[in-house]
Structure 1
């Protein structure tokens, strides 16, 4: 029973159960594609939450890292014919190095200045995607084949879903142990107050670099998985809209929570698909984007800790109300008459 209370064990059991669903139920290909997209965006959302929710560092250019991971994966498996798993690791490691460079910039900036700088970074990288045709093939885009692991081609969506769940589980466990360690406590201290963190001996240089590097690694892995799922990409896919959607995933799901990142990814990916099935809403141009914006405002106003913590927030509110009634009862005289 104590083992079942372990968070890592809970994540593993849940991932195993979810991975079995496509094998036990008859689910159509389009739905499985959506589920795979949820996994991919959950991966990048977890990395982004490490940066924003735990370290308190904003980035509006994170789509660039995901795009970079996608192009790297396509070129490594296509042009260089490297194994899929090796190319996937490299599609995370190379953006991680660039993330370290962006982390150096973050040492001198904070708040809205950092947001503007990362926005500029994202726009610049997207322009590089458009112009560097030898690497990206410009607006014509690049294609990728189905991944091959140990000689087995993964062409079915349910098999790709299982692969994605395994990778998601590994990255969730890594994030869990990272954030429970000294590094996680240092990131939280830095988020709450950089000056107080420095006074306690926390190196801002070290932990800002860790936060940006980790989040870029997760984004690159997500990009590599995206490339081999959709098997095509072009520069317009990696713009500011995607970066804002990543921000929405973390805010709506819940800052500083791994589960919230997954919930937020599911919300942003699945809700627009449900909206398409509602005829009068589907006719409104860009309604999904409008809905996402209103959802962010609603969550920030009424559930600032995100969807993942709604239950806890309601429980605390009810407990506070009950305690308030008890205090009033103690302050009153018998038969409800005031002491005065």
Structure 2
């Protein structure tokens, strides 16, 4: 069984990479770029939710703050867009340090509400600081300079921005596969026991929070460059709710689930808006509710559970190596 899982890993990665490369040939390139950005955002949130057990409703603060910072760097410095995106991700990570330090001391719904409160503070600042952010008008006309080449064509920009997102996804995979990631799972499952073993639980939570924020900022900056503008919607609380919905839809604690959930939600939203249906939230909300009711583990998590023959509700406590193999191949982590 373990050998079969090990053989399946490169196949899954190869298929995923081929789909990513072919995406702008199949659908409208800006929509393809949106899928990639939201997929990275969902994976970043899943590090915190699925592997650390912390539900954040405030990650729009990092996605949006990076979007604004990336836009400002691109507008006023003339630097290539990858540098601007990395600058935005760094800014999001810096912002996450004080927010995370104050938030990780709470758990459950209290943690979610504290992060939501901080996100609304960021929204208020972005709305009021009109001289810097443009207020309700946002930032417009953000250039896509790539070392002297203007990538105004969304098709070519997709392939220029894709490696950044792939590196972010690879980094997320390395985090959850590392000893650090296994400690995060231990903190999620039994923080008291992890603390008794000598692990500084709050410090690990803070590091996970900052890493998740940095990847969210990387996705937000890339999203900004893809659209060429930033609006207040990027820092509004509904953005946090949407990415959490993507993670739950695909499967919490699977990484692949976040990618699939993001692709489905973005494509569904684009299809409905193109068809002239304005209340897209009704349809996406219905799909989300049905998925939660029918597929408790999410789409990817349920598919992995069925293909590996796990029909029972409970899960036996596995050795660390086996548990790590299950997480990598899509088996939902225990919550």
TM over 0.5: yes
Query: Could you list the per-position Cα deviations for residues 203-261 of structure 1 after superposition, in whole angstroms to 9, with x for gaps in the alignment?
Result: 21221111111111111111111111111122244212111101101000111111111
**How many residues of Structure 1 are paired with residues of Structure 2 in the alignment?**
311
Query: Could you list the per-position Cα deviations for residues 26-53 of structure 1 after superposition, in whole angstroms to 9, with x for gaps in the alignment?
Result: x57xx21111100010111111000111
**Per-residue deviation at 1:314?**
3.1
Report the secondary structure of 1:312's partner residue: helix
**Conserved 8 A contact 1:102-1:212:** no
**Conserved 8 A contact 1:44-1:219:** yes
TM-score scaled by structure 1? 0.83
- 1:82 aligns with one of 79, 82, 99: 79
Structure 2 Cα separation of the partners of residues 43 and 251 of structure 1: 15
- 1:259 aligns with one of 251, 256, 261: 256
Q: Which residue of 1 aligns with 2:39?
A: 42
**Per-residue deviation at 1:99?**
1.2
TM-score scaled by structure 2? 0.84
**Conserved 8 A contact 1:33-1:157:** yes
**Conserved 8 A contact 1:40-1:164:** no
**Per-residue deviation at 1:153?**
2.0
Q: Which residue of 1 aligns with 2:14?
A: 13
**Per-residue deviation at 1:14?**
3.5
- 1:98 aligns with one of 95, 98, 121: 95
Q: Which residue of 2 aligns with 1:307?
A: 299
Unaligned runs of 5+ in 2: 313-335
**Per-residue deviation at 1:196?**
2.0
**Conserved 8 A contact 1:12-1:169:** no
Change (3 A) 1:196 1:230: same
**Conserved 8 A contact 2:75-2:143:** no
Map of 1:1-340 to 2, 5 A cutoff?
A: 5=7, 7=9, 9-10=10-11, 13-14=14-15, 16-21=17-22, 25=25, 31-276=28-273, 282=277, 286=279, 288-315=280-307
Change (3 A) 1:146 1:101: same
Report the secondary structure of 1:256's partner residue: coil
**Conserved 8 A contact 2:252-2:301:** no
Unaligned runs of 5+ in 1: 321-340
Give 1 or 2 for the bigger CA radius of gyration: 1
